[in-house]
Structure formats: structure tokens, C-alpha cells
Amino acid sequence: VQLQASGGGLVQAGGSLRLSCAASMSTFANSAAGWFRQAPGKERSFVASISWDGGSRRYPEAVKGRFSITRDNAKNAVYLQMNSLKPEDTGVYYCAAGVGSSLVQTETQVGYWGQGTQVTVSS
């Protein structure tokens, strides 16, 4: 499975961005999916996850209430709507597909990574 992330950019604090991730194979529709981010000088961290059918979603406290993950299995795609962005949300955002887990919340649950898209939030 190849994952192509897009939608990053430069936005002012308080603004919004919508990230997209397109998968190359239909088997993506049977996989949990998620988003991770890596801030400058920090390790990659979990941002959001969604089950294969969209019935379950998880977020860390840092983004809960501001970010929303959705998916469209007919298009083999997953999205991350980011609202009320803060400078600390800056980083490279990676989409991920899980293998053998109902959600993707840790790197050990990731089977496939996208290439990353840069999100920069200015203060």
C-alpha cells in the first residue's frame, strides 16, 4: 500500500487546514488509519486514528476537540480536519495504515507510512 499525503501549508494561529491521504490499493478500506506528526527536534507522535469502518476514533488530549479524522473508503482516502491551529501543531504530518489492529495509535501498529506533509502554524 502506498500512501500519498497532501494539504499541508502555512497558516496563522487560529486557522484551519485539511489534510488528505490517498491510498493506492483498495485493501486500505479494510485497515485502520491514522495520522502522526513530528515537530522539529522531537519524536514522531500520535495525532488521530480511525477504525476501518469509521466507527471508532481516537485523539490525544493535545488535539481533542480541534482535530477530526474521517475516511471515505470508496475513495481509499482518509482526512484530517484541523481547526483552531496553534504554533505547537507545527510539524511534518504523516498518514499511516495499520496492520492487525483496530486503531493505529503507536508506531508498532503501523504497517505503511505516507511521505509526510509540512504544516506550519505562525503566531
Longest dimension (CA), the chain: 40
CA-wise closest residue to 92 among 43, 44, 37:
37
**pLDDT in the model for residue 22:** 96
The residues, any chain, with a CB within 8 Å of residue 55's CB and separated by 6 or more, are none
CA-wise closest residue to 66 among 29, 35, 112:
35
**pLDDT in the model for residue 84:** 98
**pLDDT in the model for residue 44:** 97
Q: What is the sign, positive or negative, of the torsion defined by CA atoms of 114, 110, 73, 65?
A: negative
Query: Do 82 and 70 form a contact (C-beta atoms < 8 A)?
Result: no
**pLDDT in the model for residue 98:** 94
pLDDT in tens, 23-66: 998 788 999 999 999 999 999 999 999 999 999 999 999 999 99
pLDDT in tens, 79-117: 999 999 999 999 999 999 998 889 999 999 999 999 999
